[in-house]
A and B are shown apart, each in its own frame.
Chain A
Amino acid sequence: MGAVQSYRLRLQRKRWRIRAFRKRRELSSIADRTSTIKRDDILVFSTLRNEDVRLPYFLDYYRDMGVNHFLMVDNDSSDGSVDFLAKQPDVSLWHSRKSYKRSRFGVDWLNWLQTRYAHGHWALVVDPDEFLVYPFCDTRPLRALTDWLDASSIKSFGAMLLDMYPKGRLDAQPYRAGQDPLEIAAWFDSGNYSIQKNKKFGNLWIQGGPRSRVFFPDKPALAPALNKIPLVKWDRKYTYVSSSHMLLPRGLNLVYDEWGGEKASGILLHTKFLDTFSTKAAEELERKQHYSGSVEYLAYSDSAKDDPDLWCKWSEKYINWRQLEILGLMSKGNWA
């Protein structure tokens, strides 16, 4: 990596930071409880739109894990999300009516909030349908992990997105507020992932899973990226480049070992595929606010009409993190 390239990335990083700074004006505060954030608190950052049915379980899941404060951006929800979140004692809420796409899918907004509030904290960036699983998460709180990462001088922790789906039609089992979505979307693909290295940013680019298998069998290159680096000991100089897939400076993207060993990593259980999915897909298609002309949602809605069953004979049923580690989807690394 030459000096020129490294300087270019530096400029790019500054550009994203300036952009985030400009985009701060699109955010209006609804409930600001950031003064209650203490020095060592673990923070969750999230954008959402019309997710009220998911929010109760989402908040409880991360509260139990030891998250201290949630900083959330509501992108013009029309359901009860705003009222519900504004009432929560550990949530600070912002609102934006502006384009999700123009804010680079919420990245600019969250980059700004992180610059402002996350400096020196462990910050976890997740959507309301993503649930972090890390080694020993059934016996050790998230604080144990961040303390260990601190002690090991590790600044970022990777957690691949694992698409979960139900057996049978997506709309067969309705999801109720407060319910564990994994009771319905309990299945996943264990071994059909393809990895490439992104030379420029140094991150891995992972594709595969049920979305690639069912929606993109003939156009695998278009399948969505599954690599994520959601947990970072934030510094105001950092910036996410695209969603939580990659960061700058690029050293933060090196969450994998290149010399044969395994680094510790987790999984984001992605519970997008519930009965709420088809309405969401229809709405998102209308809004055209997602990646590359919503090609993902287009493909979904095409296949979803014919055969909405993602399940196949070789699908695995989720048990716990140890199962994911044995299957080779995540690793304990040298955390024992």
Chain B
Amino acid sequence: MSVGIVMLVHTALDRAEQAARHWASFGCPVVIHVDASVDRETHSAFVKSLSDTPDILFSKRHMCEWGTWGIVAASQSASELMLTQFPEVRHVYLSSGSCLPLRPVEELIEYLGNRPRTDFIESATTADVPWTVGGLDKERFTMRFPFSWKRHRYLFDRYVALQRRIHFRRKIPNGITPHMGSQWWCLTRQTLSAILQDPDRETYDKYFSKVWIPDESYFQTLTRLYSTQIESRSLTLSKFDFQGKPHIFYDDHLQLLRRSDCFVARKIWPRADRLYQAFLTDAAGALKKTEPNPGKIDRIFAKAVDRRTRGRAGLYMQSRFPNDGWDNGVTSGQYSVFQGFSDLFEDFEPWLEKTTGARVHGHLFDPDRVQYSGQQSEINGALSDSALTRDYNPKAFLTSLIWNTRGERQCFQFGPNDSQEICWDIAKDPNAQISVISGAWAVPLFKSNRNFADIRTEAALLQKIESEHLDILRSYFAKARIRIWTMAEFIEAPMEPLQSIIDEIGHKTLHRLAEVPKMSDLSGFGKFLQNLKNQGMHPHLMGDFPVMLDEPSANQKPRKPYLVQ
């Protein structure tokens, strides 16, 4: 009989009774502290139900509100009772009514028997713990907290603010160094009695009773004064969420808990019948040895915290709708936007698809219809090709498309003919790779069979739209990877820009580009631009196109596509 269990209980008394009987049946004495907020009737019924076991005692009751001194007072009274009533007890294990022993009690007894002088208590200085919630780490030791955090949050917050403002500081008694850690510990009789019988205990109690969440620091700090051997970890498996609340274990965690290397787990959902069945009553099952794998448990709960605080990047849904700038990624994956390429090259889209292996769409923001690759009427996620539906919420359209096609890179064409509302969202998205050949929209006009007056009006409009778009792309807020060439620049040496775009898309080709798209025949284009100028419209986005260079001559053959060296 070397281990005594101190159990703090406030709800689910039937489960607490079950656990207490389990400990007692293996010869571990149990002292139960029942929260003073439990009504007298329930309490006496509970006491009576356990009166048949001599090794289960009840200690003086305190009011236990989260974050207040009551929980420490309760642990003190119960521990004192344990130490005086059961002189054989060597280790005292602090647990709660919602704790469940995961491994056979004999194993715990044997384990502690082999380490008779070791105190198991998580205890770290405030500077070294990342898990304080609410910004109160050091301050919880230097301020006063007379107001309840749960019931009088407003007063609590105001009083903290006031103390910060007037630089109020409490003195820490006797120069002790505050330590913090899990409130569930297992201490030796020597250490525990030294703390409880300390001549300065009154000073410490008085000090800690005004500390914020003293159950995470009272024993953790004072143990440091007396213990000869501290193992700074808790034997109780306890996982906390992003707000510092303990995660709850359910029936479906059974296999996971079997693989824990901890002796006790909390908190268990009181109605998790299968867990109680498996670990308390089913002795054969509990004894079944499984290789401990606590890493798996850690991963699952760390992921939950990450999901709650950071979420899945690029996902917009009913319970994740980040404010502007808080999305940690506008979209869920990288994609490429090409402006002017399909105007300048005759077969740009099939070429790009072949070269990169990505999915290449036409003009997704075409004003009449969403031009999905392969002329589909719907695409992944049943996203429709209706232009009106798309324009109703262009950002939702784009983010849905990228989300729905996770794992496959999307490329699409864009231009001044398209609906422009999406421009800012793309420009601000670090996942976007935007390549622009400015002024290339003039090529289709140049090839069209339209009246020149119409062409002139259209050209003026498109130039204005593209110019505004370029302003966005060059703005300070743009986060996309943006490349802009004037058309004149681009056709001078088209290989290099194409190569760098393809390289960035990251399709693994060892060779340099073997095949390039076929460029439109531009003979006469310079003249065309000059005509626009002559009509009073100044096309400036194309760069400098000399009029004379491409003057058609009778003996010149049509230009050949570019070839690669």
Interfacial residues, chain A to chain B (CB-CB below 8 A): 136, 139-141, 143-144, 147-148, 151-152, 158-160, 189-197, 204, 206, 210, 212-213, 216-221, 227, 255-265, 312-316, 328-336
Contact = CB atoms under 8 A, between A and B. Distances in A.
Contacts of A148: 248
A217 B381 contact: no
B318 A192 contact: no
B383 A192 contact: yes
B308 A261 contact: yes
B380 A191 contact: yes
B65 interface: no
B25 to A, nearest CB: 29
B382 A262 contact: no
B269 interface: yes
Contacts of A152: 243, 245
A85 B403 CA distance: 44
B245 A204 contact: no
Given A190-B381, A191-B383, 9 more contacts: A151-B245, A151-B248, A191-B382, A256-B319, A261-B307, A262-B311, A262-B315, A330-B318, A334-B304
Nearest to B307: A262
B311 A261 contact: yes
Contacts of B397: 194
Contacts of B319: 158, 255-257, 262-265, 330-331, 333
A192 B403 CA distance: 10
12 contacts: A140-B252, A212-B384, A217-B386, A220-B386, A262-B319, A313-B378, A314-B380, A314-B382, A328-B312, A330-B317, A331-B319, A334-B308
B304 A192 contact: no
Interface string B298-338: 00110111011111100111111111001110000000000
Interface stretch (B47-55, B388-396, B476-484): B388-396
Contacts of B309: 260-261
Nearest to A212: B389
Size range of the chain B interface in the assembly = 35 or more
Given A189-B381, A190-B381, A217-B388, A260 B328 contact: yes
Closest 4 CB pairs of A and B: A191-B381, A334-B308, A265-B319, A336-B304
B261 interface: no
B400 interface: yes
A116 to B, nearest CB: 28
A213 B248 CA distance: 41
B321 A258 contact: yes
A213 B382 contact: yes
Contacts of A316: 382
A143 B388 contact: no
Contact of B320 (A194, A218, A221, A262): A262
A193 B399 CA distance: 10
Interface in B176-208: none
B388 A220 contact: yes
B382 A335 contact: no
Interface of B: 239, 241-243, 245, 247-248, 250-252, 269, 271, 300-301, 303-305, 307-312, 315-323, 326-328, 376-384, 386, 388-389, 392-393, 396-397, 400, 403-404
A265 B318 contact: yes
A191, A212, A255, A258: which has the most chain B beta carbons within 10 Å? A191
A336 B301 contact: yes
A205 B239 CA distance: 35
Given A136-B252, A334-B241, A147 B316 contact: no
B326 A259 contact: yes
Nearest to B323: A258
Contact of B393 (A196, A259, A263, A330): A196
A334 B315 CA distance: 16
Contacts of B389: 194, 212-213, 216-217, 220
Contact of B321 (A143, A192, A197): A197
Given A191-B400, A262-B308, A334-B305, A312 B271 contact: no
Nearest to B391: A220
Given A189-B381, A217-B384, A262-B311, A140 B251 contact: yes
Contacts of A257: 308, 311, 319-322
Nearest to A327: B381
A334 B316 contact: no
A256 B318 contact: yes
A257 B315 CA distance: 12
B378 A260 contact: no
